Amino acid sequence: MIVRMWHGRVPTTRARAYREFLIQRAIPDYRSVPGNLSVRILERSEPDATHFMTLTTWESLDAIRAFAGDDLERAKYYPEDASFLLEFEPRVVHYEVAGES
């Protein structure tokens, strides 16, 4: 199992709207890909910016490839992200799950 982690920041004033966008658009997109096992969205607010961390779990690199394309570490963005994000981090990070409880 592989975890794919993406990080983004939005102005705190836009955090609620971005959370709704993720729930309505991004999570269903992840879940529609065969081999996606789960999606978790983490959120941490600061005065000026709110951080979002998306943690998705996948059966294999091939499943991630079906979602992200051949460049597995390239971040995937939606057109709507332009109205929320403070920057576009170009890369994601993958971790192999070494243990579970």
CATH number, domain with residue 14: 3.30.70.100
Domain count, the chain: 1
pLDDT at position 100: 81
Is 34 part of a structural domain of the chain? yes
Structural domain boundaries, residue 31:
2-96
Is 101 part of a structural domain of the chain? no
Residues sharing a CB contact under 8 Å with residue 73, sequence separation 6 or more, in sequence order: 91, 92, 93, 94
The values of phi and psi at residue 78, to 5°, are -105, 155
pLDDT digits (tens, 9 = 90+) for 25-73: 999 999 999 999 999 999 999 999 999 999 999 999 999 999 999 999 9
Is 22 part of a structural domain of the chain? yes
User: What are the structure tokens assigned to 18, written together?
Assistant: 């971005």
Over the chain, what is the mean pLDDT? 96
